[in-house]
């Protein structure tokens, strides 16, 4: 039987499984950021004047901001002038009408990633808006959704086809000067997804976008906007992997969710960007602003995330519970191995009466990874009978990693009930021994225990995602038991 140390050795050697670069011609803007570049991006995408103005105002605001340093992460300073802010596959001018017209090399990329579009179309019943770098190249099931009045398209298409909706909602949840990275995104966002669910419609399938960072030196600045009208329901999946490369890539996405009366939005993420090699070289910087607004009464927003990738993660999916009786949920599994750093958590802002929120966060640190939970629960004076339950558990694997918890709890209404619990533990030798005794090898035992630790979160994931998430966790962690 291999000893734990052997297993660690073997698995630490394991390379990033999804690392490869596909050569596709890029139509790329020169590196650097200026008003000209923003005008170039905007012109390239044939945007109306108001959107250009909006971008420019965000840019001017960004110039006056300083990069935040409060997060518990360390990284080399980013040179914002050396980044390309626009890259689109050449085939942009004549967009493919069906999968057959898509560049076979791109299709092969998806094949390698295990996202066979055709199969998904047929088997999983999932509509995929696949983002290859910054421009959507394939969208499926659009007609079926259109019958119900559901709009699911790329952000640029939405700007062309539904400008009134975009103009009404863009920046209402995450204002363009909300924070440094959100302002940067507002200035240069390239593309993303747009979802609109009309009144009373229950979206019949899980909507899904696969993100993929590919071109050298291009940051990805996704912008996602999901609007759920009264009484509607939508479940949205976001998943990503990235090819192996050496220079740090910046990713600053913004996601805005708006749930009207009785609407429900379920947003799930599996994030597996390149985390850098064993020495921490390369890897994605992931600075994401995600926020949902429970606008109407009895609305509900639920965030579920499985974060296994990226060198540096800075991400706080939040809920503003404005409508009375609205509900916010946050389920998270964050894994940091080798030299990964994750500073993630949530903000729950209770405004309306009888609002409730649940936070379940599981952090796993291995190798020299640093994992931080940073969350804020704010119960305002108006939030009568608000309720919050938070639980943050950390698991340490190995003696050189760190687990940190920084909850901020501000309660200004005595009728509120809030509870916060956190614990830190490791995988006990006795637990491993117990499994070994019963013929389960150390590696499977660890995998089993970790999966059990994360069960509460995985349960929230749609089925396909839950499977992928468990697989990712195994790849990221197996054998790192100390």
Does position 411 interact with other proteins (CB under 8 A)? The reply is: yes
Does position 401 interact with other proteins (CB under 8 A)? The reply is: yes
Query: Which C-beta is closer to other proteins: that of 397 or that of 457?
Result: 397
Query: How many residues bind to other proteins according to rule CB under 8 A?
Result: 36
Binder among 63, 125, 419, 433 for other proteins (CB under 8 A) = 419
The least distance separating other proteins from the CB of residue 7, rounded to whole angstroms, comes to 16
Query: What residues are paired with 45 via a beta bridge?
Result: none
Binder among 162, 404, 435, 475 for other proteins (CB under 8 A) = 404
Does position 405 interact with other proteins (CB under 8 A)? The reply is: yes
Footprint (CB under 8 A) of other proteins, residues 370-389: 379, 381
Query: Which C-beta is closer to other proteins: that of 140 or that of 390?
Result: 390
Kindly give the pairing relationship between strand 135-139 and strand 127-132. antiparallel
Among the candidate windows 13-21, 80-88, 254-262, 394-402, which touches other proteins by CB under 8 A?
394-402
Binder among 34, 82, 172, 417 for other proteins (CB under 8 A) = 417
Query: Which C-beta is closer to other proteins: that of 298 or that of 339?
Result: 339
Binder among 76, 93, 399, 430 for other proteins (CB under 8 A) = 399
Does position 416 interact with other proteins (CB under 8 A)? The reply is: yes
In the block, tokens 């909006």 appear at 54
The least distance separating other proteins from the CB of residue 59, rounded to whole angstroms, comes to 25
The DSSP element (H or E) to which 446 belongs, if any, is helix 442-453
- Beta-carbon contacts of 25 under 8 Å, excluding residues fewer than 6 positions away, are 89, 90
Residue among 156, 176, 163, 181 nearest 56 (CA): 176
- In angstroms and rounded to an integer, the radius of gyration of the C-alpha atoms of the chain is 22
Contact (Cβ atoms closer than 8 angstroms) between residue 404 and residue 375: no
Task: Round to whole Å and give the CA distance between 243 and 114.
Answer: 14
Does position 402 interact with other proteins (CB under 8 A)? The reply is: yes
Does position 421 interact with other proteins (CB under 8 A)? The reply is: yes
The dihedral region occupied by 302, where left means phi > 0, alpha psi between -120 and 50, and beta the remainder, is beta
Query: Which C-beta is closer to other proteins: that of 46 or that of 69?
Result: 69
Footprint (CB under 8 A) of other proteins, residues 69-128: 70
Cα angle, residue 269 at apex, residues 267 and 274 outer, rounded to 5°? 160
The burial of 133, by beta-carbon neighbours within 10 Å (0-12 exposed, 13-18 middle, 19 or more buried), is given as buried
- What does the binding site for other proteins look like in residue numbers (CB under 8 A)? 70, 379, 381, 394, 396-426, 482
């Amino acid at each position: 039987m291999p000893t734990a140390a052997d297993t660690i050795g073997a698995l630490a050697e394991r390379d990033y499984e999804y690392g490869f670069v596909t050569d596709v011609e890029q139509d790329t803007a020169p590196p650097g950021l200026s008003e000209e570049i923003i005008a170039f991006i905007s012109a390239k995408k044939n945007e109306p004047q108001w959107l250009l103005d909006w971008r420019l105002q965000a840019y001017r605001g960004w110039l006056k901001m300083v990069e935040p340093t409060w997060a518990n992460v360390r990284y080399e300073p980013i040179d914002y002038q050396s980044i390309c802010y626009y890259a689109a596959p050449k085939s942009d001018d004549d967009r493919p009408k069906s999968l057959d017209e898509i560049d076979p090399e791109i299709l092969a990329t998806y094949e390698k990633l295990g996202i066979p579009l055709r199969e998904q179309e047929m088997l999983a019943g999932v509509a995929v808006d696949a983002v290859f770098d910054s421009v959507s190249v394939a969208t499926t099931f659009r007609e079926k959704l259109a019958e119900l009045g559901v709009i699911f398209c790329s952000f640029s298409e939405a700007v062309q086809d539904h400008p009134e909706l975009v103009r009404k909602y863009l920046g209402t949840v995450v204002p363009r000067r909300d924070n440094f990275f959100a302002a940067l995104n507002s200035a240069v966002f390239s593309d993303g997804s747009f979802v609109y669910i009309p009144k009373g419609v229950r979206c019949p399938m899980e909507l899904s976008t696969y993100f993929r960072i590919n071109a050298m030196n291009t940051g990805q600045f996704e912008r996602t906007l999901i609007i759920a009208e009264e009484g509607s329901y939508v479940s949205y999946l976001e998943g990503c992997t990235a090819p192996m490369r050496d220079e740090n890539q910046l990713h600053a996405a913004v996601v805005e969710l708006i749930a009207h009366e009785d609407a429900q939005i379920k947003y799930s993420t599996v994030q597996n960007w390149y985390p850098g090699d064993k020495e921490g070289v390369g890897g994605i910087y992931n600075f994401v602003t995600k926020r949902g607004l429970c606008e109407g009464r009895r609305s509900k927003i639920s965030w579920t995330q499985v974060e296994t990738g990226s060198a540096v993660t800075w991400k706080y999916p939040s809920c503003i519970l404005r409508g009375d009786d609205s509900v916010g949920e946050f389920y998270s599994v964050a894994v940091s191995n080798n030299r990964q750093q994750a500073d993630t958590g949530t903000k729950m802002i209770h405004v309306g009466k009888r609002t409730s929120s649940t936070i379940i966060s599981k952090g796993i640190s291995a190798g020299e990874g640093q994992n931080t939970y940073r969350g804020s629960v704010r119960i305002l004076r108006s939030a009568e009978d608000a309720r919050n339950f938070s639980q943050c558990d950390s698991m340490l694997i190995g003696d050189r990693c760190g687990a940190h918890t920084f909850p901020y709890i501000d309660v200004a209404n005595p009728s509120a009930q809030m509870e916060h619990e956190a614990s830190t533990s490791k995988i006990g030798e006795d637990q491993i021994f117990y499994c070994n005794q019963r013929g389960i090898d150390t590696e499977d035992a660890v995998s089993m225990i970790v999966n059990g630790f994360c069960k509460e979160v995985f349960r929230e994931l749609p089925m396909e995602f839950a499977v992928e998430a468990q697989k990712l966790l195994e790849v990221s962690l197996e054998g790192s038991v100390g």
